[in-house]
Amino acid sequence: MANAADRPTPRAGRVRLSIGALNPLTRQAIESAVRLAANGDGRIDCLFVEDVDLFRAASLPLTREFGVATSGTARRFDAQDLAGALRQQAARARQAVEQAAHAARLAVSFEVTRGALLEEALRHADAEDLLVVAAAGLDPEEAQAPRRHAVARALTLLALVDSLPADSALLRAALRAVPGASLALWACGAAAQSADALEEQCLLLERELGAPLRRVQAGAPAEVGALVAALSQSQARMLAMRRDTLAALAGELGWCLRRRSAVLLAAPQDIER
């Protein structure tokens, strides 16, 4: 049986990539967006989001910068310094996205905005678009992706599903974005109502996808803290869900992901149409 990653990805709108920095995690998000766009409409629209909370922090009178450039001493760091640093980050990110897109012969656009990452990603996307969002936490170690040669073997993908088999298209898109990933399932809504029905659907999905499924937990998606804990416990680097679910959880999930980095994939409910 063919692996799900070898099958065509269901057609959807454009791939909308949203990032706020350039680091190993966001480079992984770029690679995932390229894979999806190559099997979609052949275009990536990238949004670089300047975190508005960083500007609020930089405006505080006690904000200081420590670093090699300042010989280990503290110096005043204000909004103007931050804006300059983010312009440099955006320029490097644009170069990385354009290089990856052009190598795959994809059309590409790049835009810079200011706000909260998840909210801006949703606001700039059309209803039929696939979203890829790199939420890099504050802990530098959390933003480190596995070494390139180990990605296919080591990456775990946590998928939040509300209805099976209806959400199998989401799982196929996620596996296309990260080929060879280990797939863990968080069931909520109708999918979590019957343990026996969930087990039966998972067995059917394993045959369809050609990949084993780990059942992490069944619970309400509104329990964002528990969802992020499951993300950490499963050692997942990607979180996949439906667009409407992401829209409902965006505010609280955005705050939680400041501590636990992940690449988010959000697919429209009617991705197969």
29-53 confidence digits (pLDDT tens): 999 999 999 988 899 999 999 887 7
Tell me how far apart the alpha carbons of residues 219 and 226 are, in angstroms, rounded to a whole number: 9
Whole-model pTM: value is 0.81
Band the pLDDT of 104: cuts 50, 70, 90: very high
Q: Which residues contact 87 (CB under 8 A, 6 or more apart)?
A: none
Domain boundaries defined on the chain: 4-267
Across the chain, where does the E strand assignment appear?
15-19, 43-51, 64-65, 75-76, 107-115, 130-135, 156-161, 182-187, 213-218, 236-242, 262-267
Paired strand residues for 45: 16, 109
Quote the DSSP letter at residue 69.
Answer: G
Q: Which residues contact 60 (CB under 8 A, 6 or more apart)?
A: none
**Does 4-267 carry CATH code 3.40.50?**
yes
Only one residue has tokens 């939420």, namely 135
Percentage, residues of the chain above pLDDT 70: 76
155-191 confidence digits (pLDDT tens): 788 998 888 888 888 888 888 898 888 888 888 878 8
Contact 113, 252 (CB under 8 A): no
